[in-house]
Amino acid sequence: MDAPVAGIDGCKGGWLAVACQPFAFAAAEAEIFETFQAAMDALRHAPVVIVDMPIGLTDDPRAGRGVDQDMRRLLNARVPVGDPKAGSRVFSPPPRGAVDGFRAGQDYWAINAALPEGKRLSKQAFNITAKIAEVDDWIDMEAQRRVREGHPELAFAELTGATLPPKKSADGADARDGALTALAFDLSALRADLGPRTERWLEDDLKDAAVLAWVASRCKTGDALRLPPTVATDARGLRVEVWF
């Protein structure tokens, strides 16, 4: 896969990428890579890649990332009717110490035992710690100029003008299908690119990667938005920001 922009989402089979020329969504292609390194090797010429995975981690386990709070507030503010929990779709990623503990072989219970009371990792956060570590191992300040963090829920809210219903609901699935089809994504062709879903990918993974390809297109043309307005950096100098 060698295309100008791409969106990437983690999946059971590894990393699901949707790539295309900027805004040429009808010709987009999809592929699954076993490792993040393999995806980055394939997309080495892509000037913009948006990945649904935290980039830039906090060293203070008592303090979350400010950008996650910003995303929750924005999602809650854009709910058209009645979903007061929309912001909960943005989970708190593990601090760097927890990721380092995972690298050292610690399990869920050992990692949580080392964290302050009230700051325990959710199972959701722990379950993607391996993928967070993959991205963190690969990325540096230079690479972050083109490989940036995105969030599908925020992207869909910007694309449609409102926070969509939960993606697991029928209304949420239909709304995401409609939004991507309106952009000219051929979801049937992308599904065919990926092959059978069993133990490899889910519909949500494909849609999330596709909308992040839209964000990557916006980044390429200078139209994308970013949270927060004033960007902090982590201890490694990585920018803690989200593009949409």
Per-residue pLDDT tens digits of the chain, which is 244 residues long:
556 899 999 999 999 999 999 999 999 999 999 999 999 999 999 999 999 999 999 998 888 899 999 999 999 888 876 566 777 788 888 999 999 999 999 999 999 999 988 888 888 889 999 999 999 999 999 999 999 999 999 999 999 999 999 998 999 999 999 999 999 999 999 999 999 998 899 999 999 999 999 999 999 999 999 999 888 999 999 999 999 9
Q: For position 19, what pLDDT does the model report? A: 97
8-state DSSP, 143: G
Beta strands in the chain (DSSP E): 5-11, 14-20, 29-33, 48-51, 147-149, 226-233, 239-243
Contact 131, 36 (CB under 8 A): yes
* Domain extents in the chain: 1-92+142-244
Question: 215-239 burial by CB neighbour count: b if 16+ within 10 A, else e?
Answer: bbbbbbeeebeebeeeeeebeeebb
Residue range 1-92+142-244 in CATH 3.30.420? yes
Q: For position 61, what pLDDT does the model report? A: 86
Q: For position 209, what pLDDT does the model report? A: 98
**Rounded Cα–Cα distance for residues 123 and 108 (Å):** 8
Show Cβ contacts of residue 37 under 8 Å, excluding neighbours closer than 6 positions: 134, 138
